[in-house]
Structure 1
Amino acid sequence: MNPTIIVTGADLAQQALDLLTGYEIVYAGKTPTEDDMVALCRAHNPVAIIVRYGKVGAAVMDAAPALKVISKHGSGTDTIDKVAAKARGIEVVAAVGANAAAVAEQALALLLACAKSVVQLDARMHAGHWDKATHKSLELGGRTVGLVGLGAIGLRFAKMADALGMRVIGFDPFAKNLPAYVQAVDLETIWRESDAVSMHCPLTEENRNLLNAATLAQCKRGVIVVNTARGALIDEAALLAAVRSGQVMAAGLDSFAVEPMTAGHPFQGEKHFILSPHIGGVTSDAYVNMGVGAARNLLAVLARTPDAVAVA
């Protein structure tokens, strides 16, 4: 019987499946609960889990004694209990950079939508209005964008912002050998000097609610906020208040503290919020890149892990 890999999703790119021949692939569906995952692990005792949706915690790991590796279909591993995994000798790997182009493009789209009032003007046009005499958009050239996080996605976005003629400043204590068009600064400088702030860092307990009432108050009045990283980087109540007061001109958000967003969320129906359902990394190309990256990463771990069943 072939060893099993569980995918916390309903599908996986064919190019990834081609790499995993010799393994039984079990799909958990698009919204697997912890109970679903525990049951599947008990039934199949997987050697690997590919994480697309949902969370993988200690209970899931304990239900799979053969588990050697948890491989993220993407770059953010905050949905995996890495402390529990380490304690159990389970490696956690991520397809870092596989969706960098897709997410950076979404960040740029949200920034432009905010600066150019794309959504509002579209709605007005469809309603029969012609606001040429009364509307003024924001020109981004010559303005400063502050990036929190200078990994693969942040640097890809930085290159595009530079091409627009923007001054690019960024904070990332781990970034090295930055390109000449990115100026490394501290967070206080990000808040003080940015006309737009774009979040590109992983979520940790240290940076949860990094953008909050205090830090938003330090920003220029009329700043644009873009977040394609993790929703919990931002105190959502504080952002709502800042947008309503005009301290924040507009917010372009692709990620939220609780996902999926449910009916009645305070952002819904609010002017100056441009929202998308965490689809920055969801393109046909990124889908393949992330699947292949996740497959290659887990195969590499299985190939070097003692007692693991690595299928040639």
Structure 2
Amino acid sequence: MKLVITGRVDPRVIQEIRSRRPDLSLKVWNESGIISREQLLAWSKDADLMITMLTERVDTELLEHAPHLKMVSNMAVGFDNFDLAALEKSHVLATNTPDVLTEATAELTMALMLLVLRRLRSAEDALRQYHWTGWEPDGFLGFELYGKTLGIVGFGRIARAVVKRALAFGMRVIIFTRRSLKDLPENVQQVSWEQLLESSDIVSLHVPLTPQTLHLINHETLSRMRPTAILINTSRGAVVDEKALIAALRTGKLAGAGLDVFETEPLPSDSSLRELPNVTLLPHIGSATVETRLAMAERAWHNILAYLNGQKPPDLLLPKLWPDKT
């Protein structure tokens, strides 16, 4: 059987694959940048198993090029790059890697809040570019996290990890999610969508990209937010209508934003986001720690290994397909 890995992974995982399953034929993308669509389709032709990155679309076109494909394991918690209907129709198993990137992404969420509120990027730029002439009582004034109201949209694993950190900073937390929450900690309250937008000093997004969350943040929702508020997005770029966000930031309807994800990645060179001084931009590094990327690769592989051993993969996205694979 042939296993195709579409991105660079920790060599320790490759070593484990070769050790545990020497019968597998391995093809791994080790070049700089991401694999091209053309190369991906070419590699898929004789693939039985695939470990994919979030940059690769697994859709009808790919599945038509991959007649032997039995399982695809996404090295990401999100799976909006998967066409689940097409996978189900083709009877191809699919998995993701939840849990393992929770702490890293929660840490980066808090870092973005600090970067924006404390104006850390502007302060460092001034120092590096020799514009800082010495301490002044009103130099680089920002705002504290302490005492601020953090509005969290969604309440999955990452959101819950952010709540713990926010409480440690002395913040008040309000949450919007459609399911009813019970036994929330002190200083944490579930509120309506309107209440969250209107009451938050910081709105942090922690929802998957679905038809329901596409452009969840738009002209209308931004108009409900406080002009002193900031927006943080470490989920998926298309949850935010970037044109609406740019307009709000330019006109002072929103004080700032911290973004790790974008509607189009990499961020286009002509994006107006690059020009705005009240935005902090990061290149999709929410899970970019040595510990987390190793854990993600291991989990993606262990899903494959479970299948090879005749066991149900722990992170199966289409459980209804499993009886057909036993």
TM-score by structure 1 length?
Answer: 0.91
1:180-237 per-residue CA deviation (whole Å, 9 max, x = no partner) reads 1432222212101110001111100111010111001001111111111100000101
Mapped to 1, the partners of 2:304 and 2:51 lie a distance apart of: 9
Aligned residue type for 2:5: V
Mapped to 1, the partners of 2:194 and 2:135 lie a distance apart of: 38
Q: 1:184 to 1:297 in 2, by over 3 A?
A: farther
> Structure 1 residues 299-308 or 49-58, which shifts more?
299-308
Corresponding residue for 2:316? none
Mapped to 2, the partners of 1:131 and 1:246 lie a distance apart of: 28
Corresponding residue for 2:259? 253
Mapped to 1, the partners of 2:183 and 2:303 lie a distance apart of: 26
CA-CA distance at 1:170 after TM superposition: 1.4
> Structure 1 residues 131-140 or 160-169, which shifts more?
131-140
1:49-88 per-residue CA deviation (whole Å, 9 max, x = no partner) reads 3335322211112222222222111201011111111111
CA-CA distance at 1:295 after TM superposition: 1.2
CA-CA distance at 1:279 after TM superposition: 0.8
Among 129, 137, 160, the residue aligned to 1:133: 137
1:77-130 per-residue CA deviation (whole Å, 9 max, x = no partner) reads 011111111111122211102111111111111100111000111122332323
Aligned residue type for 1:291: A
Divergent runs of 4+, >6 A: 306-309
Aligned residue type for 1:14: R
Q: 1:115 to 1:33 in 2, by over 3 A?
A: same
Mapped to 1, the partners of 2:280 and 2:227 lie a distance apart of: 19
Mapped to 1, the partners of 2:44 and 2:192 lie a distance apart of: 44
CA-CA distance at 1:36 after TM superposition: 1.7
Corresponding residue for 2:7? 9
CA-CA distance at 1:26 after TM superposition: 1.4
Q: Could you say what secondary structure the match of 2:77 adopts?
A: coil
Q: 1:206 to 1:119 in 2, by over 3 A?
A: same
Among 223, 226, 230, the residue aligned to 1:224: 230
Corresponding residue for 1:78? 80
Corresponding residue for 1:148? 153
Corresponding residue for 2:242? 236
Query: Among the aligned pairs, what percent are the same residue?
Result: 29
CA-CA distance at 1:273 after TM superposition: 0.8
Mapped to 1, the partners of 2:36 and 2:211 lie a distance apart of: 23
Corresponding residue for 1:102? 104
Q: 1:13 to 1:290 in 2, by over 3 A?
A: farther
Q: 1:218 to 1:93 in 2, by over 3 A?
A: same
CA-CA distance at 1:306 after TM superposition: 7.2
RMSD of equivalent CA atoms: 2.1
Mapped to 2, the partners of 1:63 and 1:216 lie a distance apart of: 43
Q: 1:139 to 1:241 in 2, by over 3 A?
A: same
Mapped to 1, the partners of 2:111 and 2:118 lie a distance apart of: 10
